[in-house]
Chain A
């Protein structure tokens, strides 16, 4: 097994970058063909567009759309809104472009995750190939839905998690906190990582890779940074007391 380029030289970095770009372009091409053949908007996709339109019209993301109260985190609609206002795009074009960007990025994330996990470029390339053509992802990338950025952020979190497991540093756990806040702001289902990350820390301690004090410190940094990032995001994207309602709705579903 040719042991994968452990990124020791610039040449290897360059090769890796070229592979990532090629995967991204291939994924983008497949998704563009899909949209060209079938641009039909799914009903969930249209819900997000209506949310963004209402947000722009009323200035309130939690505008009650025909009495339907759908729990939702606002990062993805906010990005669509900002893209619309920055580029002067139509809501559908802005939504689909953003989804295409994140949807095409996901196979790259998958490639890097597999590479870091298996340390084998062949396995990583196969994983990227599967992710480029996976019907569910191709379908999703054409729709203006928040899942696209959610899975990209979760994928990034997994990569950093694997890196942190291999070599634990405070910076990596802090980075996990930042990405966790981003992914939770896309979908509250990402709250699972608020449990998974401490579990990884506990596993590191159990495998005697770190001391108990270090585990506790890293966990504290992770939670502190994720909390701070969440507050910063709320300040940037906008905060509404109903955001808390959405989260409490989520916890009600569990308990």
Chain B
């Protein structure tokens, strides 16, 4: 007879006997977010991710669309099928014209109660986080915010959601073992945009909302669009030039703008520069700023600490300029220049300028 004590399962990876009512929850849902007739691309990024999860679980992937009657919402459903949805749940009602917490929470909660998905994903936008928090509390279930990775723990058929904590210094994997649905939000650009394909399905299930405008307390008086011209469009930019503390003085940040102009690039910065007021907050790249996936990211005077890294290391090509040969950024850059950014940046601006002029003359 063996002396060995029974093996204790590692904490958190125990086999969980789910209440049969909860085990009946099936399906992966993605909330399709839209604003003023335009769908937010994070919805498609989540459908791509949702597809992987649904396939691992052997269940259907559904898009969930709530909005006012009309072509933009119908279009959102159509697009969802182009990004892999097996079906689309749709609630059309005039009270859903602009986002408000109350009608959207009511609609999405009603759908969940009726159709019982096991996983619900939303984009971690201001809308998504406002809505997800209310829904998770209404349903008394688990919600994990700002996930950077989603996997299935097949032993428990549960979602293992990984997210940064303490500003990105650590990662933790979180599971909702005894409650359904398991909810998670994901920031735009953290997941890859999947390929747009021919729909394999066009199944739509419509549900009513059962709310009248007069009963909804919060009113939208007006919507004031941002002045897009002056605003950074970092999240979907293909080329970004970014500066960090190694630039030393605010005057030197002009060198970043100069190079960006020559390249037709967007300008980004690390958090300390935003806090010091060198640039506006919409240009912050990093764990508490924007996540970007450009083709080219030029990092000048940036050390590459994890809080910044998580916002940009999905870039195709990274050029790092730093005078410290041991800077962390050199651990994951594609091209490294060890040198003084204040000298390298203008040299690059000149070199790119000349090269472009040459090909234009030739072209």
> Do A and B come from the same complex?
no
Interface residues of B (CB under 8 A from A): none
Residues of A within 8 A of B (CB): none
